[in-house]
Structure 1
């Protein structure tokens, strides 16, 4: 299974991008031994539309165009479930074991994800009730993906 993060917006050079790359590389190292085919990050430009509804619709169309068939869609959304790292790992392990081709994590733009895209998601995940900058959400997501791989591998990185 290939893991893909589709995010609206581009991370500039700096500590957030470096952390994302570090967790992506760590996941690739351990993930291949667990049957994962890699972790891709796809950045989609933010819509320049004047109103939020149009921006969300344009961004949803761009995200949808980047989602391969036979994918599980996971929405990072403030209305999503607060799950712990072990549950996150169980989801990834279950989809891998079910021979899902792609697990796609989506991070919307400043206006969030369109309701239609949220409905298409198999799972909605929130990182607590606080509002987080999108750059930090990406870092936290990539860390959780890496942590999930370490949990599935029985690696000591995760200490419950």
Structure 2
């Protein structure tokens, strides 16, 4: 089961990028024996003032065919880490790849939002996109650890 994180904008060399790379590398190594991974990041160019509709077109072209489309959106469901792991496990068991979409500064266009299979929110607060990527990468790693039954997640 391939997991794609699809995001508007390019993350340059930074502490956030190091964290993302670390979590996804750990997930990819540990997840193989459980049918999880690889997890990859695809970035589409986020030029200033491009607008949601233009960003949506770029994102749509990059969504892997047949993948469950999950958007990160403030209107999405606020779920626990074990619930997130259950979702990941269900997609894996139904032989579906998953694509998580993080929109640009103005969010995700309504047309793309309407196409989503699921929407997740990291709470009512607004988060910088680079931190959302880190939080999502960590939650993907955590989900793999929950599925594997390791003590990483202490409930």
Same fold (TM over 0.5): yes
Deviation at 1:44, TM superposition (A): 0.8
Residue in 1 aligned with 2:62? 66
Residue in 2 aligned with 1:8? 8
C-alpha distance in structure 1 between counterparts of 2:36 and 2:27, whole Å = 9
C-alpha distance in structure 1 between counterparts of 2:107 and 2:142, whole Å = 25
Moved over 6 A (4+): none
Q: State yes or no: 1:86 paired with 2:110.
A: no
1:36-86 superposed Cα distances (whole Å, 9 cap, x missing partner) = 23011001111344xxxx610111011100112211000000111100000
Deviation at 1:107, TM superposition (A): 0.2
Q: State yes or no: 1:97 paired with 2:93.
A: yes
TM score, norm. by length of structure 2: 0.97
CA RMSD of aligned residues (A): 1.0
Q: How many residues are aligned here? A: 155
Where do 5+ consecutive residues of structure 2 fail to align?
none
1:85-138 superposed Cα distances (whole Å, 9 cap, x missing partner) = 0010000000000011x2000000000000111111111001010010000000
Match of 1:150 among 136, 145, 153: 145
C-alpha distance in structure 1 between counterparts of 2:37 and 2:134, whole Å = 20
Give the 3-state SS of the residue equivalent to 1:157 in structure 2.
coil
C-alpha distance in structure 1 between counterparts of 2:14 and 2:48, whole Å = 24
TM score, norm. by length of structure 1: 0.94
Q: Tell me if the contact between 1:47 and 1:58 (Cα under 8 Å) persists in the aligned partners.
A: no
